[in-house]
């Protein structure tokens, strides 16, 4: 029998490790079900209508993973021999197995990030190929928000997508943590997370949203776009093996998350700041101030040689993290202030030895 990880473990590896709350499990068990491949699962249909309407699109498609959502988006926008412009550190380029190239013969054109994580507008412009038989056809600009936990400034999102549109490119957003971005942007704009999510989404032709990260659902993402675009993406989902049957069981968790877990992301952001503040001043550790729920800490000097020992030390104290010379800590709904304080104490005890 597979046992769940004990609650006393402070798991900061990712916000993907969250488990459904009791209320979410109840919603899953109560969900009316059908067969989504036949299009008659009422809970899946309700989720698709809800997320499409929330973000201002005509339609949406529920898929098992964010990787599949991005794949369906790229292949629905592009044909064989086309290319998409994307950041070097973007998830849909670096960490999705090269799916668009392998499965769709769509070439990525990676662009180096600036120090602030953005792609320079001049670099985007320069990467667009002329209409010439020697080149792949540039069809799409893909951005990610948040990127490494950092919020893309809204004026930059507007400028980059306007540039792409002026050059005839489609625009896709990997919004795996779109609602983290929306909560952070809402705090800056004195607005609501729902309004800011919709404003960001309005800059794009398609948006992928993940439910299984900070929103706390166990599985699933949604791809949003026009009805024609989603019809193309639906065919690609079928080819990729993403058609599920009584998927309403999972869609119910995503619906619950949308209704109950968006505004609470601000708590995760506050815990990330608490963690960063607690690690400030440690010799050998350079901590970046977080904008959302991800904290990066770079090991410096002699500490770089002890990264493995540090992770083992943390695990021995019931704290899990990832990284090598750059450690990553992610806060989420299964982490509280006491857990963050335990993590800080464990890290400080290692450096104080």
Q: What is the pLDDT of residues 29-46, one digit of tens each?
A: 999 999 999 999 999 999
Single pTM value for the model: 0.95
In whole angstroms, what is the distance from residue 322 CA to residue 306 CA? 14
Q: pLDDT value at position 306?
A: 86
> For the packed helices 178-189 and 193-201, what is the interaxial angle rounded to 10 degrees?
110
In whole angstroms, what is the distance from residue 337 CA to residue 213 CA? 19
The domain locations on the chain are 10-16+264-351, 31-260
Taking CA atoms, 340 is separated from 136, 279, 307, 327, 352, in Å, by 48, 11, 20, 15, 18
Mean pLDDT of 110-114: 97
Residue predicted with more confidence, 352 or 291 = 291
Phi/psi of residue 319, nearest 5 degrees: -120, 125
Mean pLDDT of 343-348: 97
Which H or E run contains 211? none
- Tell me: the pLDDT tens digits for 118-155? 999 999 999 999 999 999 999 999 999 999 999 999 99
Q: Is-contact 232 76, C-beta < 8 A? A: yes
Q: pLDDT value at position 196?
A: 98
Residue bearing tokens 């699962």: 41
In whole angstroms, what is the distance from residue 174 CA to residue 181 CA? 12
In whole angstroms, what is the distance from residue 66 CA to residue 242 CA? 11
- Tell me: the pLDDT tens digits for 143-192? 999 999 999 999 999 999 999 999 999 999 999 999 999 999 999 999 99
CA 240 to chain centroid:
20
Q: Is-contact 220 252, C-beta < 8 A? A: no
Q: Which fold has domain 10-16+264-351?
A: 3.90.1150
Alpha helices in the chain (DSSP H): 22-30, 42-55, 66-77, 91-94, 99-104, 121-127, 154-166, 178-189, 193-201, 227-239, 248-260, 265-279, 307-316, 337-351
Burial track 133-167 (b if 16+ CB lie within 10 A, e otherwise): eeebbbbbbbbbbbbbbbbbebebbeebbebbeee
DSSP state of 310: H
Q: Which fold has domain 31-260?
A: 3.40.640
């Amino acid at each position: 029998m597979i046992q769940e990880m004990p609650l006393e473990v402070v798991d900061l590896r990712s916000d993907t490790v969250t488990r459904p709350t009791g209320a979410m499990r109840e919603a899953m068990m109560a969900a009316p079900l059908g067969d989504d491949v036949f299009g008659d699962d009422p809970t899946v249909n309700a989720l698709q209508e809800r997320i499409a309407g929330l973000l201002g699109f005509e339609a949406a498609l529920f898929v098992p993973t964010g990787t599949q959502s991005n794949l369906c988006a790229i292949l629905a926008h592009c044909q064989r021999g086309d290319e998409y412009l994307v950041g070097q550190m973007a998830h849909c380029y670096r960490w999705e197995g090269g799916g668009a190239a392998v499965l769709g013969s769509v070439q990525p054109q990676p662009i180096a990030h600036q120090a602030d994580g953005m792609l320079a507008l001049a670099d985007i412009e320069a990467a667009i190929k002329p209409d010439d038989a020697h080149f792949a056809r540039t069809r799409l600009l893909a951005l990610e928000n948040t990127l490494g936990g950092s919020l893309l400034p809204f004026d930059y999102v507007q400028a980059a997508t306007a540039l792409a549109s002026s050059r005839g490119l489609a625009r896709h957003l990997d919004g795996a943590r779109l609602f983290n971005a929306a909560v952070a942007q809402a705090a800056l704009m004195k607005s609501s997370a729902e309004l800011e999510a919709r404003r960001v989404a309005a800059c794009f032709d398609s948006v992928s949203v993940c439910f299984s990260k900070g929103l706390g659902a166990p599985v699933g993402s949604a791809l949003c776009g026009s009805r024609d675009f989603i019809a193309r993406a639906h065919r690609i989902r079928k080819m990729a093996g993403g058609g599920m049957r009584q998927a309403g069981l999972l869609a119910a968790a995503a619906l619950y998350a949308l209704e109950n877990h968006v505004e609470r992301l601000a708590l995760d952001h506050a815990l990330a700041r608490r963690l960063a503040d607690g690690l400030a001043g440690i010799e050998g550790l350079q901590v970046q101030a977080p904008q959302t729920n991800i904290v990066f800490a770079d090991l410096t000097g002699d500490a770089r040689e002890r990264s493995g020992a540090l992770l083992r030390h943390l695990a021995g104290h019931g704290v899990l993290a990832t990284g090598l010379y750059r450690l990553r800590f992610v806060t989420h709904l299964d982490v509280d202030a006491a857990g963050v304080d335990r993590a800080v104490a464990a890290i400080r005890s290692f450096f104080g030895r």
